[in-house]
Amino acid sequence: NPAFAGLWSLGAGGSEFGDEGVERFCRAARFERLTMLDVSRARFGSAGAKALAAWPGAAHLQWLDVSGNNLGAAGAKALIASPHLTNLK
């Protein structure tokens, strides 16, 4: 929805997206100023973490909460190595 493009904060903690939901979100989400994203307890694993890591829309994020998910080593490494998550504080 274009009306959400100006959001700077999005709380989706506990949303139970799962890997597929995170992957769909990253394919479709178009935010111009999103600086805070809470996807804690969203029941995703390494595939969802990899989708977040590859998402160009994460470039403006300064705060990202992925706690309470089962990212695994591969998902954690993908987030750490992401070229789009360099502005996290």
pLDDT attached to residue 1: 65
Residue 5 has pLDDT above 80, yes or no: no
Q: How does pLDDT run across 17-56, given as a tens digit for each residue?
A: 999 999 999 998 888 789 999 999 999 999 999 999 999 9
Neighbours of 30 (CB within 10 A): 10
Structure token digits, residue 69: 């998910």
Average pLDDT of the residues of the chain = 92
Q: What is the pTM of this model?
A: 0.90
DSSP state of 66: -
Residue 65 has pLDDT above 70, yes or no: yes
Strand 9-11's sheet: what is its strand order? 9-11, 36-38, 63-65
pLDDT attached to residue 40: 97
pLDDT attached to residue 36: 96
pLDDT attached to residue 8: 87
